[in-house]
Every structure is written in structure tokens, then in C-alpha cells.
Amino acid sequence: MAAPSRPAVTSEIPGPRPLPLIGNALSVPSGRTIQSLMRLTRRYGPILRLHSPAGDRYVVSGLDMIDDICDDSRFTKLVGGGQLVLRSRFPSAGLFTADTGDPLWRSAHDILLPSFGTRSMRGYLPQMIDIAQQLMLKWERTNPGEPVDVTADTTRLTLDTIALCGFGYRFNSFYRETNHPFVDAMLGVLAESQTRSRIPPALVRLRRGAERRFTRNLRLMTDTVGAILDERRSSGDPGDDLLGRMLTGTDKQGRSLPDDNIVSQCITFLVAGHETTSGLLSFTISYLIKNPEVVARAQEEVDRVLGTDPEVMPTAEQLGRLTYVTQILDETLRLWPTAPAFTRQPLADDTVGGYPTARGTGIVALTPMLHRLPEVWGPDAEEFDPDHFAPERRDALPPNAFKPFGSGQRACIGRQFAMQEAVLVLGMLLQRFEMIDHAGYTLRIREALTLKPEGLTVTLRPRSGRTPGATAPPPPVRAAAPATVPQAGGDRHGTPLLVLFGSNLGTAEDLAGRIVRDGADRGYAARTAPLDSATRALPTTGAVVIVSASYNGTPPDNAAAFCAWLRDTGTPDGAAAGVRFTVFGCGNRDWASTYQAVPTLIDDRLAALGGTRVHPRGEGDARGDFDGQYAAWTAGLWDDLAAALDLRGQAGAAGTTGPRLRLDYENLRASAPVVRSYRSVPATVRANRELTSGEADRSVRHLEIELPAGTTYGTGDHLGVLPRNDAALVRRVLARFGLDPATYVTVAATGAAPTHLPTGESYPVLAVLAGCVELQDPASRAGLAAVAAHLPAGPDRDALEALTGTDDASRARYREQIALPRRSLLDVLEAYPASTLPFAEFLDVLPPLRPRYYSISSAPEASPNPSVTVGVLEAPARSGDGVHHGVCSTHLRDSEPGGTVFVLVREPSIPFRPPENPHRPMIMIGAGTGMAPFRGFCEERMALYERGVPVAESLLVLGCRDPLHDLLYAGELRAFTDAGVARLLPAYSRMPGHPHRYVQHVLAAEAETVWKVLEQDAVVYVCGNANTMAPAVREALVTLYRDRSEGTADEGDAWLAALRAAGRYLEDIWGESAVPG
């Protein structure tokens, strides 16, 4: 392709003045190459010339110049100096170091490309989580105030991740005090390669010590990879990962990779596959510790999407919904792409930005400066702002404005892998930790093959309000969708439906299979085929659905002939006349210049050739919520097809899959359930008494639990209780499905997906309903859809289906009618008695029963048996129908002394414990049952006092409604006061005449006392409602500080933040569950 018409530039290309023999070597010193090039670009402009003994090289950053060199028809990759050094020391080149014309590069690229598609990414997620959890665990176990080396730990993380995902090998870096030898060898090789690329060959030969180290490091890397290969071959199972594909795969010509090339590829992936991602995560953290408003916004998204239970692992769908987290990573890559340059060369004499360039000239694209162009990014282009990648701004970017992973067919093959790993890890970190800039870090760049921040350390504080579950199960491996079971007695109208796919990586083919299964459910005679099979042979009966991807703007291998036919100017007008079609495209917006190129071509050309578009083209972005986008597109697909084919009375209105569970019933009697889902232990209730008076408007119970031998607790721990659903609730389910209470069921999972229900043995139905599933959670959309699917056509079915859509109106209806009133699936079933939903499907869509956590209200120094203080939830149901009973509080209220409950002890996620030094005072702030942990704190201090240990007097700021009715543990509070362990400062919200209604009012009124204790290095503890009490307490304390310091609001916030950072302000707070949209 010829260069675009553009006036030639006759002026000289600017640049620094070269020196004899060494050219511009001093202008671009080793170790600061990229930063020096950025400085020179700011001085000389968007193109500059550098002179060296090996020849001139241009450095460009202007958008028009980047557009030129990213044209694969005119320019190709030029392997850089450091890469050439690496390549020269191996018998075969890897993907990163090979020339584009190398036949082995093409073979390896074809063989490995499917390993980086959307289908493969889902398969890697469990292994990614495995390694990410090791980082989380290491950071969770750091001592308060202990710095962590961010770059070192992210290097361990990313090396272990690519090794496990790609090669099934564990470096176990987090179990080592020092780097794995491979890492040290790799760093040495990279540094030496860069050095050798900058000095004359004669000088290289004189550096004998460096040569010995270089050879030794290369041998260690090669030996490590060789051991991995030997281990895989000896296992007899090649595997289905990167290594397995290299061992068994063939390219399009049937050629396999030789062993020496496999070794080079493995080293390439181990190096490039972790260096760039660790740099990205490290740079991201360096920006986050300086931008608390970005952190707050990201944490809100993480909590909303992933939840606050860090033991529930993220799914691929959830990662796709972390859009702001992705914006943060993209913004980091904009400012500091860890691979900060790529080099291209013209295939023939050409021009770049109008400047003549000779064939083979090296042209360096300096991406950090491309990414700082004010005309693209705005006047704040030098500033960190994730909103540079807000959806509307990203969509408006010029195609080549953002190039963090290179360009064209030589762009980083693993970019989707890197981004999935980065989103996962950053999301998990934000879910768990506050990262604190303890040293006032100033960004410094370390340059080698990639860029990384130098000397970055942070301290960590666990986030409050985390709600861990009872166990941390291994992340579920996403199973293939079970085969669709045809509707019994449905109308099989048999209309042909041809689903064509263009797919190299399998994603489009997978979607085609899903469409065929759904179509078969609706009575179509559906089948799949590759696009090329329909070249000049599109059917005019029935309909055609096309699912295709693009690869750098070119069609998939099995769609090339079809697309060539569409493009052919000789294809006659009307070649697609009579064809009813729709198109869905699979793509990734990282390839902005070619995003959806092939699906758009197919859609446009079929319409131009006379075809009838029956449903709008859909787009799935692998960097976003791909599943949600596909679901939104299919939401109207079947209605549009039915209308176009005049099948409104014949095609099924909804795809019906068969139940995933098969139940065999036995009418036997039993009473005891088996707890199998959680690592809980049976404990004995030793006491259960009421704490409030008969005139109080609520019940609060005090329970003492005897733990089994070997299970202990500490002051401030939480007790998780695995509840049982109330018997009255279980009876309602039995009545709705006509089941005898004595019935046993045998649950068998008919698909590959795991289930939380007990399988493979006969189980009492009472035990399943009481102890395995949540019966009072708001009905999910899937549950509503299941109920609707078993209703006859009519207004009731329409009303339920109107709640399950993804549009704004459906979401609003769901929120108002289901989520806010908390209508359960059982409530819905009772409201729609005509639904014939099978019991198996009812169980299948219910979430598993989860434990509830209570602050332990005792201290082991005072009692070996932990106690809990439980507010019994009994209130009018939000739906207006009857009374809502809390699942766990009702279970505990009804537990008799001597009875068994299943429990687990969990340490708090933050150091919510009394100070080890008893001379250090505490300020404990709580309301109602929020005083529970403070009873334990005071018991611990009281035990020390009774042993003669001097203890500081603490403050207990405690709120209740009326001291005559619901001041909990009133007698014990008087004893703590009399002993000087804690001074009570009460707030009574419903006591006429009392001056302080809430705890924040007490803090204001007793400001002198509170401030005096704060000046004694007191630790502040807050336990209560996250939405009401906690922010009021924070505001009261900030006001107290401002009044005494005459400071500003910002200074007050900074003071409180400093208390947090020092571990002197701790919150154990809770709020209502988020209402799903």
C-alpha cells in the first residue's frame, strides 16, 4: 500500500548534536533511556533524530507519525538492540525477539494465539486467583506499620501466575525469603542485554566477568525451563495450557515447533509475561497512594461488584464489570506503559509525518509522549485521572492514540492475560486493604527491558466492614453450559436456523453453539457451520445468525473466503437477496483501530447485497462486560426472528433448559441434618437469657457457647454461626410443593457445574431446606425467570418477565418490587400459584445458606466459653406481608441450653483488640449490641485489674434507648466503673429529659474529657451501623479536633486519617446488604 498523499517536509529532522564516534550516546544514558528520550522529545518535538555508530534512528510521538508507522502494509517490527542480544544467545527466537518474516514466528503465533482468547482467559482464572490469594495472605499477615516492597511482591505474583497458568509449574515465590534463582538470573540477563546493545562489540569481548555471569544466568534460565519440559513430558499428559499447545500443536501447514524453539518461547513468556504486569500493578499503586478520591471511587465499585466478603472469589463476569478499576489501569498504562516503546521499520522507502524515511530505518514510537499529547488527552494530559478513559472519552480516542502494548500483528499477544490478571489483583487488593503512603513516596523510575517504580513501599491497613464467609472454597472452574433439554410437548415448527461463525480462538464458535441450543429449544432446526462454508451459498429459507471476531482487522481463518467474497467487486448486486440475517461481533477495544472491523464489514456488505437485517448488530468487548453485552443483544433476538419469519404463534417465547438437578425421593423419616458446606464445628449452648426488660420494644439475647476441644477464641474475635431456617418457613416451602415432611431426596447434579447441595446420598428434605439454602433472600432475576417460564402465557407471566430484563425500566421495577421489599422466591411462588416450577429448579436457583457473624462479648481471661450478644430481628416485613424474622437471630433465640449450634471462630480483619499495653487507655464507642466487643475488652482489663495489674481508665461511650429497659449488662457496667476500668458516658435516645440522644452528642458534650484521653495515646474503637453512627462519630471527632486546633476541615480529615494510619482509630461496623439494581 502506498503512503498517503501528504506534502513532503524538506526541513532537517531535529535532534541533539552528535559527538564523534559515539553519536548521541551521552544524550541517552544507560538506565535513563526512556526518560531521556522524553526530555529530548519535549525539547525537539514529535520527531527527532538520534545518531549512533550503528546508524541513525528516529524517535516519534506525534499522532500522525504513529498512524504512519502502525500501518502494517507499509511498516513492520524492527527487533531492538537488547532483543537482538537475547536472540543471539539462543538457538531459536521467541515471539518477542523474532523477525516477522521468520517462519517459526508465524508458526508459534498461530499455535499460541488460541491460548489468549476469551475462552482460555476464563480457564486461567482459578489459577490466577490461586496465586493472588498468596499475595493477599502475605499482606494480611504483615505487622501493623510494617512496609511491604510493592515491586518485589508483584514480581513474585506475576512470575508465579504465568508459570502456573502457562506451564502448570509452581515457583512458590511467596514461600521464599529471597527471589527464585530464575528471577535473579532473568534480571541479570536483561540488564546485560541492554548494556551490550549500547557498546561496540569489541568492548563486549573485553568484559570477561560480565560474560561469565551472562552465560551462567542464561544457563540457569534454560535449565529451569528444561526441567519444566521434562516434568511435563514425563507426566504423559501434554496439558491444555501454553506448554501443552507448544508440545502438541501445529500451525496451518501442519508444522510443529522444534524443542529449541519451545525453550525460547517458554523463556519469552516467563520474562515478558510477568515483567510488564508487575510494573503495571506497581505504578498503579504508586498513583493510588497519592489519589485518595480515586481509591474511594474504586473501592465503592469493588464493594458493589465483588461484595465485602473477601473469601468469595471473583468471577470472570464480575471482573468485566470493574470498569473504573480498568480505567485506573489504563490511565497508569497511559502515563507509564511498562513497555514504553516499540520500534518499526518501513518495508520500502516511505515517509513518516511527511519526512522521507529509507527502507529499514529504525523508528521508535515513544508511547509515554504519545500518551501525553494535549490535543488528544486534554490540558491535563500530564496528570493522573482515570476519567481520561471514561467510556465516552475512550470511544472518542483516535485509533492509534493509546498503544501500551505495541501495534498490529506484533502487539503483545498476552495483553488480555495481563489485563485480566491486573484487574483481578487490583480488585482484590482494594477489597481488602487501605494502602498507606508511609514514607511520602516520590516516583522514581527504574529502567531495564521494562519500566518499574523504584523503592516503592507501602504500609497496609485492613479495610473495616469486611464480612468473610465460613470458608474459602477453591474458585469454581467455569463449566461448559449443559446441553439444552427440549421442551416436552413444545411446538417443533422446524424453521431452519443457520448459525455461522468466524473464529480462531473459540469464543465466537462457543457463542454459535449457545445460539443453536437456544434456537432448538424454540423449535428451530438449528445448526452451526464456519462462515467459509456459506461462501456464495447463503440460504434464503429460515434465518442466518453470524458470530465473528476480528484479528487485527483481518477475518478469522474460517471466514477469510466468505469475507473475500463480500469484498469482491465482482460479487453481483442482490447476491444476498432473500437472506434474513443478524450479526454479533466479538472484539477487544484495546485494538481500537480495528475493533469490530470484520463483523461491521459482514453486516454492512450483506445489507448492501440485498440481505434483510432482522436484528441490529451486536458487539461484545472482551475488555468489558462481554456476557452482559451478549445477553442484552440476545434479549430481543428471538422476538425479532419470530417476527421476520412470521412465527409469533409458533416459536417458543423463551429458551428452556432442562433442570440441572435430578431428584429421587424416598418417603422416610429423619430429623438430623448433616452440615457439609462449611468448616464449622458443633458447639453446645450453655446459657441463653434475655437482656432487655419486658417493656423494651425489642429482644436482645445473651448466649454462652461451649466450644469443642481444640477450638479457642481471643478478645475481639467474631463468632460465625451457621443458622437454620425457621420451621414455619420450611413448612411453607413443603406446602407450596406438596412435599411430606418425612421425605428424603437424593440430589444428583446433572451438569458439570458444582452445587452447594449434598449430592449422591439420600437426605431429609427438611435438612436441605433448613440447613443448606437461603429462603429469605430477595428473589434473583434467574429465579423470577424460572417461575415465569412455568406460568401459562398471559399477564402474570408478562409481569414477572418484565422484572428480569437488563434495561433501565426493568431494573427499576426489580428494585421497587423485589429488592427493596425483599420479596423472596417463596413469596413470589405463593403470589403466582399457577406456576409449575419444579422443586429441583427451585433449589437450583437458591443461594447457599451462609453464616452470620457476631462480635464475641467476652474475654478468655474471664470465661473459656465465648458469649455473643444477639439482637433478635422481628419486624414488619418490608413487603407489607406479615412479620420478617431474622434467620440466625431467630435460630439462636430458640436454641435451648444443651442444644447444638454449628459455629466457627474468626479473627477480625483489622486489629480490633485491646492494646497490649494495659496502661494505654481506650475510647470505646458503640450503640445497642455494638457494645458487645467492648464488654469483652472491659472483661480483659478487669481480669488484669483483679490480678493487681494497673490499668488505664478507658471511656465507654454507649448508646441505648432507655436505661430502664435496654441498657445491656448494666450491673457489669457499674462494676467496670467502680473498679476504674472504664468510665461510662451514656446516650439515651428515648429517655425524656436526657441531654444526649446519640453517641456523637456525648462526644461533643464531653469534648474536654475525650481530648484529654486522646492526648494519652488512646485507641479509638467504633462498633455500630456503618451508614448512620459511624459517619456521625467521625464528624464529631473531626469537629472536636478543629475546635481545639482551629484547623480547617481538610486538616481535621487529615488528623483522623493519621489516627487510622497509626492504628489508633478502628471501626468494626456493618450496614445493610446492597440492594441489587
What residues are annotated to the active site? 276, 405, 412
Q: For residue 845, give the C-alpha cell.
A: 436457583
Beta pairing class for 75-77 and 341-346: antiparallel
Count other Cβ atoms within 10 Å, centred on residue 20. 5
Q: Is 276 left (phi over 0), alpha (psi -120 to 50) or beta?
A: alpha
Q: Which amino acid is located at 805 in the chain?
A: G
CA angle (717, 719, 725) in 5-degree steps:
160
Residue 963 dihedral angles phi and psi, to the nearest 5°: -65, -20
Would you call 784 helix, strand, or coil by DSSP? Answer: helix
Residue 431 dihedral angles phi and psi, to the nearest 5°: -65, -30
CA distance to 186, 301, 391, per residue, from 395 (Å): 38, 21, 6
CA distance 43 to 45: 6
The dihedral built from the CA positions of residue 676, 677, 680 and 684, taken in this order, carries a sign that is negative
Beta pairing class for 900-906 and 681-690: antiparallel
CA distance 755 to 772: 11
CA distance 568 to 1: 18
In eight-state DSSP terms, residue 884 is E
Query: Residue 692 in contact with residue 698, Cβ under 8 Å?
Result: yes
CA distance 73 to 71: 5
CA distance 730 to 696: 29
Place of cell 467487486: 569
In eight-state DSSP terms, residue 598 is H
Q: Which amino acid is located at 658 in the chain?
A: G
The dihedral built from the CA positions of residue 897, 903, 756 and 804, taken in this order, carries a sign that is positive
For residues 77, 79, 83, 86, the Cα torsion angle rounded to the nearest 10 degrees is: 120
Considering only CA atoms, which of 291, 272, 275 is closest in space to residue 331? 291
CA distance 725 to 849: 9
Q: Which amino acid is located at 709 in the chain?
A: A
Query: Residue 580 in contact with residue 544, Cβ under 8 Å?
Result: yes
Count other Cβ atoms within 10 Å, centred on residue 970. 13
Rg (alpha carbons) of the chain, rounded to whole number: 33
CA distance 172 to 154: 13
Considering only CA atoms, which of 187, 199, 194 is closest in space to residue 81? 194
Query: Strands, DSSP E only, in 100-242?
Result: 148-149
Q: For residue 405, give the C-alpha cell.
A: 502494548
CA distance 66 to 80: 18
Place of cell 473498679: 979
Would you call 423 helix, strand, or coil by DSSP? Answer: helix
Query: Residue 615 in contact with residue 637, Cβ under 8 Å?
Result: yes
Considering only CA atoms, which of 74, 92, 2, 47 is closest in space to residue 408? 74
Query: Strands, DSSP E only, in 725-800?
Result: 743-749, 762-764
CA distance 214 to 171: 22
CA distance 488 to 495: 18
Would you call 399 helix, strand, or coil by DSSP? Answer: coil
Q: Which helix (H) or strand (E) holds 367?
A: helix 367-370
